[in-house]
Structure 1
Amino acid sequence: MLDRIDYALLRLLRKNARLPNKDLAEKTGIAPSTALERVRRMREARILLGYHAEIAPEAIGIGLQAMVSVRLARHSRALVDGFHRHLLGLPEVLACYHVAGADDFLAHVGVRDSEHLRQFTLAAFTEREEVAHIETRLIFEFQRNVDLPPQPGAD
C-alpha cells in the first residue's frame, strides 16, 4: 500500500523523472537515504515501471499523428493477442490500447504526412484478415497530463 510520501514521490517523478534524489528528499521532507529506498522499493514492486523522455515529434520526422480505431472481425484469445503483438511491433504505433465497446483497439500513430498515414493504414490494418473496420481521427494537439489522480482515501 502506498502512503502519502510514496504518492508525493510519484507526483514529483511524474512531473520530472530526472529530479535528483536530494531534491526528491527535500521536497517530500524525508532523508535522502529514505527517498532512495522508497523509489527503489517502488521499482522492485513494479509501481514505477520506467522513465521516459518526451521527444518533440517534429524532431524525429513525425509531422502527423492520428488515433486509429480498429474493430476485429472475430474474437479469440489468439487473434486478439496476435493483433496486439502486431501493433506493438509497428514503429509508427506510439501507443496502443485494448478497449471495450464498439472497437477493440485504439492505436496512436505518428507518421511523416498524410500519404504515409494512408500507406501505413492500408498495410498495417486493412490488409489484415482479422480486421473488420478501421476509423482514423487526426490529432491536432497532444499533451500528456503529468498530474496523478488523488490518492485513494485522501481527503
Structure 2
Amino acid sequence: MRLDAVDHRLLAALAEDARIPNNALASRAGVAPSTCLARVRRLKEEGVIRGFHADVDPARAGRPLQAMIAVQMRGAARTRLSAYLQRLADLPGVLHVFLLGGAHDFLVHVAAPDSDALNEFVIEHLSTDPDVALTETNLIFQHARAGWY
C-alpha cells in the first residue's frame, strides 16, 4: 500500500492523539470528514493502523520498576522463536517483546512493582525455562516515548 501526504498527516495526528474527533482529524489532514473516515478505515483494513491504545504510565499503575531483559535461546529452541515471542508477550508485566538478529534472540520490556517481583519474573518465566540459555537484565532509569510520526 502506498501512503500519500494525507495518509502521513492522518497517521501523525492519530499517533499524537488517537482519540481526536474525526472532524478535527480531517481539518488537520486538510480533507473532508467523509474522506478522513474512509482513509482511516482503509489504513486500518490494510494493517497500517494496527489498533488504538492507551499510553499507560507503568509507575502510576503500580509497576514503577522497568527493565529490558535480553534473552538468548538454546540452539534447538530456535525453530520455535515465533511461538516463544507470543508466549513472552502473554506474561504478566510484559510491555513489549522484540525478536532480534544478533547475539540475543529477544529483548523483553517489563514493568514490575519492585526488584523482588522483577527477580521472580526472571527466575520463574525465563531462567528455569529449558529453552533459555542466557538472560541479561538491564534496569531502565528513564525513557521517553518517541514521536515517530
Normalised-by-shorter TM-score class: over 0.9
Q: Is the 8 A contact 1:93 1:110 kept in 2?
A: yes
Q: C-alpha displacement at 1:73, in angstroms? A: 1.2
Q: Any stretches of 5+ residues in structure 1 without a counterpart?
A: 149-155
Partners of 2:82 and 2:29 in 1: CA distance: 41
**Pair 1:119-2:120 in alignment:** yes
Partners of 1:22 and 1:85 in 2: CA distance: 37
Query: Structure 1 stretch 79-88 or stretch 135-144: which is displaced more?
Result: 79-88
Partners of 1:79 and 1:28 in 2: CA distance: 43
Query: Structure 1 stretch 18-27 or stretch 138-147: which is displaced more?
Result: 138-147
Counterpart of 1:152 in structure 2 is none
Q: What pairs with 1:21-36 in structure 2 (closer than 5 Å)?
A: 21-36=22-37
- What are the superposed Cα offsets for residues 84-109 of structure 1, whole Å, 9 maximum, x if unpaired? 23202202111000000000000000
> What is the one-letter code of the residue matched to 1:87?
L
Equivalent position SS for 2:111: strand
Q: Is the 8 A contact 1:79 1:130 kept in 2?
A: no
> What is the one-letter code of the residue matched to 1:19?
I
> What is the one-letter code of the residue matched to 2:125?
A
Counterpart of 1:68 in structure 2 is 69
Cα RMSD for the two superposed structures = 1.3
Matched residue count: 148
Q: Is the 8 A contact 2:77 2:131 kept in 1?
A: no
Equivalent position SS for 2:60: helix
C-alpha spacing 1:21/1:100, structure 2 compared with 1 (3 Å): same
Equivalent position SS for 1:69: strand
Equivalent position SS for 1:12: helix
Counterpart of 1:7 in structure 2 is 8
Counterpart of 1:137 in structure 2 is 138
- What are the superposed Cα offsets for residues 80-138 of structure 1, whole Å, 9 maximum, x if unpaired? 23322320220211100000000000000000101111111001110001111110000
